[in-house]
Chain A
């Protein structure tokens, strides 16, 4: 029983790490540009598939590093050509646009790489369990959590200590004032969008190694990421981080006792948070309007 519980908590943490990576990217874009990026799951799948295509030439490590950058480039292109036109308008339109993009991405991925699932091969030494008692802790899972932790730490350091990071955080609070102070807000938003998509690409590569690739692989991660943002509190990246881990573990633990409710439990958590603390665990008053 203890082992089963531990197994599912570990599972939950790993799934939670994906939610975190995905939700942080969504949250960055949402906070600065007020755009819900429905196509985030599509970018994630594209990141994974690019890694699949590159890995025969660059190996796993090369693909892991290059693929998120290529995905981010695609994101920059999409932002400049399509999304930028909609910043001043009703959020309805950017929502519909990214919704349409999500359809197109999924169909294109299917068209290029086929509807069948594909594996991303990982270095064989990482596929082994580290101990017999805890068979579920493979090297790759530890590695994944390590990469996610490093990426999150790097993101927080960049946002805290670099000039661009400080501008992004300031823009989250009051974009007009930041623009009035002479910051090029357009470039800032583009860069920020690229950073969000980079995180999506990275989680795509990591998820590909663990679960395999599938044109719809991003869809299952999108809703939990929304919920991570809502539970953590809109506007707070720390909240998103905690929210993602929390719902990951919660669904892992529920899977032990009541498997068919493991999806529903995160919605119950969201309802509870909205009822008791509408702004979310770490949300600031007024961010939700």
Chain B
């Protein structure tokens, strides 16, 4: 089974056609989305949550440890970016970097505490620590706005020398800004996973004991993967704050972590692009279903149950299997 999945990821990177299709779809999205009843901000949201799910999957699918508290670092990125724009700077990219640093550094510190736990216990400890940040965002009214969320900041136009790109007012320009960030992050993740470091993570996922006997410092690698994934998801959180010009304490809650995990699993957590697909399906469903019924929670709950029972490999994993058989 393991050999199949590893070969699968390799083949996907060698064959340029799927990659070409993915980037073509993403690059042209603002033009075809309105034609099928969508809108540009929806596409941006797919990119943001897709990036968040891919960052989580860096840990979940490729290192094999189960973090159920990643919403916290997503939210830290959002609050970090929002607070930076509100109090420190008018530069959107700088605020984004600060948000990303906040998420990543918090992940690095807590990761050191968590890294020895495994399996369900790892999940339990990550959830519990994630809730700390939820309570801070929820309780620290004077700084974070408490229950009402953080308001009073807005993304600013980009100034590149003489050129000004109005990502503040123009949704399409902002979409391409997010796509650029997404591409950089996805490229970095892809590069890391193909490097010896990434191969080591796969080895730990497949057989931790054997990796340890080979002299690989397992704890250090898991900590590094956790930290990197927190940096990436912090970036996604920062982009989310820019998208809404708002940061919501509920984005740090563990139920949001559950949503991110289900995106990754639904899309296919043993594939690189699966979480993006899962995120797209989740965001579109959420947009549609919550406009149709008040029982969105039951719907999401059923989605969890159906995915777990019938599509544990996710959509892409399912398709890949079909393709091989």
Chain A interface (Cβ within 8 Å of chain B)? 30, 34-36, 38, 82, 85-86, 89, 91-93, 95-97, 99-104, 106-108, 111, 223, 226-227, 229-230, 234, 260, 263-264, 267, 270-271, 274-275, 278, 288-289
Contacts and interface: CB of A to CB of B under 8 A. Distances in A.
Interface string B279-317: 000000000000000010110111111011100100000
B118 A101 contact: no
9 contacts: A103-B300, A107-B295, A226-B127, A227-B128, A230-B121, A267-B128, A267-B129, A275-B113, A288-B121
Contact of B125 (A97, A100, A274, A289): A274
Interface stretch (B20-28, B130-138, B154-162, B191-199): B130-138
Contacts, number: 116
B124 A226 contact: yes
Nearest to B261: A96
A275 B119 CA distance: 19
A264 B136 contact: yes
Contacts of A95: 66, 68, 120, 123
Contacts of B295: 107, 111
A229 B124 contact: yes
B303 A92 contact: no
B261 A36 contact: no
A108 B298 contact: yes
A274 B139 contact: no
Contacts of B135: 263-264, 267
B308 A34 contact: no
Contacts of A229: 124
A93 B308 contact: yes
Interface string B53-80: 0000000100000101000000000000
Given A36-B123, A100-B300, A102-B301, A223 B265 contact: no
Interface of B: 60, 66, 68, 113-114, 116-121, 123-125, 127-129, 131-132, 135-136, 139, 254-255, 258, 261-262, 265, 295, 297-298, 300-305, 307-309, 312
Contacts of B298: 103-104, 107-108, 111
B308 A104 contact: no
Contacts of B119: 34, 91, 289
Contacts of A36: 120, 123-124
Given A82-B309, A99-B262, A230-B121, 13 more contacts: A93-B312, A96-B304, A97-B309, A100-B301, A102-B301, A103-B298, A106-B297, A111-B298, A226-B124, A230-B128, A234-B121, A267-B128, A271-B113
B128 A270 contact: yes
A166 B244 CA distance: 56
Pairs of residues from A and B, 6 with the lowest C-beta to C-beta distance, nearest first: A100-B304, A103-B301, A104-B301, A107-B298, A107-B297, A100-B301
A190 B301 CA distance: 23
A96 B121 contact: no
Nearest to B309: A85
A267 B135 CA distance: 10
Nearest to B110: A271
B300 to A, nearest CB: 6
A100 B302 contact: yes
B144 to A, nearest CB: 13
Contacts of B125: 230, 270, 274
A33 B30 CA distance: 48
Residue from B121, B124, B297 having most chain A Cβ neighbours under 10 A: B121
Nearest to B295: A107
A264 B66 contact: no
Contacts of B136: 264
Nearest to A98: B304
